[in-house]
Amino acid sequence: MYLYIVDSCAQNKKFQRDLLHIQARIQDLGITGRFEKLTMLKSIQDIVHDAERKGVRTIVAIGSDKTVNAIISHLTDNTITLGLIPLGEEKNSIADALNIPYGEAACAILSKRIIKKLDLGKVNGRYFFSSLSIPASQNTKVECDKSYFLKTTGMAPIKIINFCDNGYRGNAQDGKLEAVVEETEHRGFFSFLKTRATSVRNSIIPAKNIFVKNSEESVPIYSGNDVMVKTPATIEIVPKKLRIIAGT
């Protein structure tokens, strides 16, 4: 039984035709299911929890990376398989990495049902797939694998990456998270007036378990632009937890 969740970014009039083509193709391939459109009154959380109660086996995200990450963050049942049909103008780097083509063409991938098992991250009990972002702060302590502390003097946030984030791609099959700190160097005359940040070699530190706390106040940890949890937070890797339909 399939459940298709159509994100608001794919509900734009521009994509109505694409959506109709997708629905027709799904019918042709015999992978029909219920369509749920996200609205102000219907959140992803309600739809995912309702689907779990009803025993849905496959949830298909029609939208972008944001849609996939939002669905995963509300999943509690690890037997559900996730599919993806990229549609809309937002980033689709997850689909790209999994060799899933845009729009209607993704339906053929769904019907082939090649399932990959990928790692998920878990922060304070909630799953995440792509990455998390911890704002830079002198008071934030990051402890990795219960054996060493990580401190950063730069202004860049610490990214905890499982799969991908802004061009950096982690390996979601290695059983590790990666703490990534973007390094910047300031060049040029009067650099204190005009700083031109140039990217140099970023810090990459693999870890299975990360504990974040702030000595002064609780700081937010973001998944994309949304606050997922607040510190203190325990972040861990859950190997091969996600069943996702991928291209060949």
Partner 1 sequence: MAIFNKEEHSSQEIETIIGPSVSVEGNFVGSGDVVIEGSISGTLKTEGSVRIGKDAKVKAEVKGSRIFVAGEVKGNIQATSSLELSASARVFGNIQTKNLSIESGASFQGKSVMGSSEEDKEKNHSSKQKNVQAIKEVK
- The 3-state DSSP class for residue 19 equals helix
What is the rounded distance in angstroms from the CA atom of residue 203 to the CA atom of residue 182?
6
CB nearer partner 1, residue 8 or residue 203: 203
> Least Å distance between CB 51 and partner 1?
26
Do residues 130 and 223 make contact, with C-beta atoms less than 8 angstroms apart?
yes
- Interacting residue ranges for partner 1, rule: CB under 8 A: 96-99, 116, 145, 147-154, 156, 167-174, 178, 181, 183, 185, 200-206, 246-247
> Least Å distance between CB 219 and partner 1?
18
CB nearer partner 1, residue 31 or residue 150: 150
- The token pair that represents 223 in the structure block: 């998944």
CB nearer partner 1, residue 40 or residue 200: 200
- The 3-state DSSP class for residue 3 equals strand
> Least Å distance between CB 223 and partner 1?
20
Whether the bond between 86 and the residue before it is cis, its omega within 30 degrees of 0, is no
Helix (H) or strand (E) holding 244: strand 233-245
- The 3-state DSSP class for residue 173 equals coil
> Least Å distance between CB 167 and partner 1?
6
> Least Å distance between CB 175 and partner 1?
12
Do residues 36 and 70 make contact, with C-beta atoms less than 8 angstroms apart?
no
- The token pair that represents 124 in the structure block: 């304070």
CB nearer partner 1, residue 51 or residue 156: 156
**Largest pairwise CA distance in the chain:** 65
CB nearer partner 1, residue 49 or residue 116: 116
CB nearer partner 1, residue 74 or residue 240: 240
Exposure of 244 in the CB half-sphere (CA atoms within 13 A): 28
> Least Å distance between CB 26 and partner 1?
24
Annotate 129-141 with b (16+ C-beta within 10 A) or e (fewer): bbbbbbeebeebb
Do residues 106 and 10 make contact, with C-beta atoms less than 8 angstroms apart?
no
